[in-house]
Structure 1
Amino acid sequence: MSNDSSGPADPYGQPEQPGQPGDGQQPPQYSPPPAAPQGPPSYSTPQQPPAYQQPPAYQQPGQAYPPAPGYGGQQPGYPAPGYVGPGPDAYSPWPTRAGGFIIDLLIGGVPAWIIELIGASIGGGFGSFVIFIGWMLGLVIVAWNRWYKGGKTGQSVGRGVVGVKVIGEQTGQPIGPLMAFVRDLAHLVDSLICYIGWLFPLWDAKRQTIADKIMTTVAIPAQKVSAQETIKNWDK
Structure 2
Amino acid sequence: MQRADAFLLDSLINFGPMWLLIGIGYAIDEKSSGDRGEIPAAILSWVGIIAMLVAIVVQLIREGRTGQTVGKKALGIRAVQGGDGLVPGVGLALSRRLCQFLNWPVSGLGWWWAGWDTKKQTFADKITGVVVVTAESGPSRQLAAGGL
* TM-score class normalised by the smaller sequence: 0.7 to 0.9
User: Is 2:124 the partner of 1:218?
Assistant: no
Per the normalisation by structure 1, the TM-score is: 0.52
Count of residue correspondences: 129
User: Is 2:45 the partner of 1:139?
Assistant: no
User: Is 2:71 the partner of 1:158?
Assistant: yes
Match of 2:140 in 1: none
How many Å separate the matches in 2 of 1:115 and 1:171? Answer: 42
Residue correspondence of structure 1 range 65-214 to structure 2 within 5 A:
95-123=1-29, 124-145=38-59, 147-214=60-127
Identity percentage of aligned residues: 30
Q: Which runs of 5+ in 1 are unaligned?
A: 1-94, 225-236
How many Å separate the matches in 2 of 1:175 and 1:143? Answer: 15
Larger radius of gyration: 1
Q: Which runs of 5+ in 2 are unaligned?
A: 30-37, 138-148
Per the normalisation by structure 2, the TM-score is: 0.81
Runs of 4+, deviation exceeding 2 Å: none
Q: Structure 1 residue 143: deviation in Å? A: 1.2
Higher helix share: 2
Q: Structure 1 residue 216: deviation in Å? A: 0.5
Higher RCO (CA 8 Å, separation ≥ 6 residues): 2
Q: Structure 1 residue 157: deviation in Å? A: 0.7
Q: Structure 1 residue 133: deviation in Å? A: 1.4
Q: Secondary structure at the match of 2:19?
A: helix
How many Å separate the matches in 2 of 1:190 and 1:121? Answer: 35
